């Protein structure tokens, strides 16, 4: 956009920083906001600020929440003997959407990636290893990638030291594709077909 408004230009440039949003999409969104009523835009702006103010990490599982421990960790209806390990809260949300899994979660916050200088100590792995009392099974649901595999192997080794069953979700999800984009049926099958490792 060769816009005559520096302000509009700034909005486009800010929106372009969002994940998955290129310059063209940023322009489209900018025009969309311009056409919206002031109250609609205010609502969005307020929600953004409120999210930043109120959303925190659960002290137990590191999921996003407004109250810590989160509603999953404090629920009486969840199976507390199973913990599913995921990379990010978006993966947890995808699994929750599938509606089949009734255990607890642990969000490690990424994957071990020596090339990027990310080691186990940079993730919430120690916190996971410290909450395994009375846990019978840990299901690893990292994304199918080289780093996901490295992370799985590391977790497997560390968790096995506590004599706890470790399994991994089935490989219905193709290598390189993200868990958060898997459809519900694929996710349900991936859990049902999980293998002990």
Q: Which residues in this chain contact Zn ion in the complex, by CB under 5 A?
A: 58, 60-61, 63, 69-70, 73
Provide φ and ψ at 84, rounded to 5°.
Answer: -100, 125
Q: Any residues with CB less than 8 A from the CB of 192 and at least 6 apart, and which?
A: 100, 170
The least distance separating Zn ion from the CB of residue 107, rounded to whole angstroms, comes to 8
Q: Which is nearer to Zn ion, 92 or 140 (CB)?
A: 92
The rounded distance, in Å, linking the Cα atoms of 83 and 18 is 32
The rounded distance, in Å, linking the Cα atoms of 6 and 4 is 7
DSSP bridge partners of 167? 139, 196
The least distance separating Zn ion from the CB of residue 62, rounded to whole angstroms, comes to 7
Q: Which is nearer to Zn ion, 15 or 70 (CB)?
A: 70
The least distance separating Zn ion from the CB of residue 128, rounded to whole angstroms, comes to 12
The least distance separating Zn ion from the CB of residue 86, rounded to whole angstroms, comes to 12
4: helix, strand or coil: coil
Q: Which is nearer to Zn ion, 11 or 85 (CB)?
A: 85
Q: Which is nearer to Zn ion, 18 or 67 (CB)?
A: 67
């Amino acid at each position: 956009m060769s816009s005559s408004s520096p302000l509009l230009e700034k909005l486009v440039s800010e929106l372009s920083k969002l994940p998955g949003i290129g310059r063209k999409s940023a322009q489209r969104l900018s025009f969309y906001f311009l056409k919206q009523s002031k109250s609609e835009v205010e609502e969005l702006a307020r929600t953004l600020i409120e999210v930043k103010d109120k959303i925190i990490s659960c002290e137990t599982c590191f999921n996003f929440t407004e109250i810590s421990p989160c509603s999953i960790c404090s629920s009486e209806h969840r199976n507390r003997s199973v913990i599913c390990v995921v990379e990010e809260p978006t993966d947890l949300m995808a699994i929750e959407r599938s509606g089949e899994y009734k255990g607890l979660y642990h969000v490690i916050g990424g994957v071990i990636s020596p090339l990027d200088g990310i080691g186990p100590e940079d993730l919430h792995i120690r916190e996971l290893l410290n909450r395994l009392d009375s846990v019978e099974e840990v299901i690893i649901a990292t994304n199918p990638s080289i780093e996901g595999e490295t992370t799985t192997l590391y977790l497997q080794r560390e968790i096995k030291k506590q004599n706890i069953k470790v399994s991994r979700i089935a490989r219905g999800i193709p290598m390189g594709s993200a868990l958060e984009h898997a459809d519900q049926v694929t996710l349900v099958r991936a859990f049902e077909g999980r293998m002990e490792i």
